[in-house]
Amino acid sequence: MFRWRPLQTPLQAFDRSFQWQPRILHRTVQHRWYRFGGPHRGPQYRYFRQHAGQRITNWIQGPTFFRDATLISLGAGGIYLWNLEEVPISGRRRFNIISPGFEAYIAQKTMKEIMQEYRGRFLPEWDPRVQQVRRVLYRLLPYVRDAGGLQDVDWEVHVIDSPEMNAFVIPGGKVFFFTGILPMCRTEDGIAAVMAHEIAHVVAHHTAEKLSRAPFILMGVLLLYMVDVSFTMGTALMNLFLEYPGSRKQEEEADFIGLLMMAEGCYRPEAAAELWARMDRLEAARGERTPEILTTHPSHGRREAKIREWLPKAYEKREHSDCGNIMGFVRRRKRLLHHLQLRLVFLL
C-alpha cells in the first residue's frame, strides 16, 4: 500500500490481517479473567502459563519428543512445500494458503467498509481529478491484464476528498486515490507511479500472502505466551522479526513490478524515483523519520535508490512497448483536443 508512512492506513482489514487472531484471543483471556474474579485472582491466571510452560518442558524432556518433533516437522514442511508458488513478474517463491475465492470475499467486505467510512466524500465522475486518475488507469490496463490472471477484473476508480496522502487498490480492481496525494504526484507520470505500485500488490496477491503468514504469527505469539511472555510483547516481537520484514519485502516487490508496468505503459520510469525523493525531503522537513526496522515500509530514500537501480530494466521494457508510436499518437490527440477547444471558445 502506498502511503505517507507516519499516517495510519484506512484499509484496516488489510493492514491488520496478521493481528486479527492474537488481538481477539488477548481480549478474550482478559475478559474471562476479570469476569471470574478480577485482578485479585492474578496468581491463578499466572499459574496457567506456568503450567503450560511446564508441560512443554516435560514434553521436550520426554521419550517421544524426537518422534513427535519429526512428525510435526515433516507435516509442516510438506504443507509448506505444497503451498509454495511463484509471484508473477518478479518470480519470487512464497507460501500462500489463501484461495482466490477467500481473497475476493475479504476484498468485498473491505470494499463495503471503505464505502461506508468515506460516504459523502467521493468526488463525482465528472471531476477533472477523477478523470485524470481514470485516464492513467486505462493506459496501464493493457499491461496489467497480462499479469496475475486479472483479465476478467471489472476496474473502478474512486477519488476521496481528503488531505491524506494515500492510495490503494483492493483485489477485484477497486482503485482508491485520496486528493491529498495528487499534489505530491504532480503529473500523470507520478500518478502512474503510485497506481502501478498499488496494482502490483493485487497482481502479486500480497493480501493473500499476508493472511497466510497469520497462522505462523499466532503460533509464535502463543508459544511466547506459554513461556511467560505477554501477548503484547509477543505480538511486538513477531511483528519485528516476521511481519514487518515480510511487509517491507512486499513493498519493495510492488515497487519493482509497478515500475515495469508504468514503463510498459509509456510513462517516465524516473517519475517513481522523483516521487520518493520528494517524499523523503518532506519527511526530513517534518522531522518524522522512523527507523526502517520498526515500520512496514522501506524508507523513502531506500525506495528511491532501489528504483534508480532498476531503471535500466524499466527502459528495456519501455523500448519493447513501441512507446515512440504511442507517445506520438498521444501528443497528436492532445493537440487535436486543444485545437477543438480553441474553436469552441472562438465560436462561443
| pTM of the predicted model as reported, rounded to 2 decimal places | 0.77
Q: Report the interhelical angle of 244-264 vs 206-226 (nearest 10°).
A: 170
Residue 176 binned pLDDT confidence (cut-offs 50, 70, 90):
very high
Supply the pLDDT for residue 3.
Answer: 58
β-sheet with 166-170: strand ranges across: 2-3, 166-170, 174-178, 156-160
- What's the confidence (pLDDT) of residue 157? 97
3-state secondary structure of 205: coil
**DSSP state string for 238-306:** HIIIIIHHHHHHHHHHHHHHHHHHHHHTT--THHHHHHHHHHHHHHHHHT----GGGSSS--HHHHHHH
CA 27 to chain CA centroid, Å, is 26
User: How high is the mean pLDDT of the chain?
Assistant: 81
Catalytically annotated residue among 103, 113, 156, 198: 198
175 touches 157 (CB < 8 A)? yes
- List, for residues 216-267, the tens digit of each pLDDT value: 888 888 777 766 677 788 888 888 888 999 999 999 999 999 999 999 999 9
251 catalytic per annotation: no
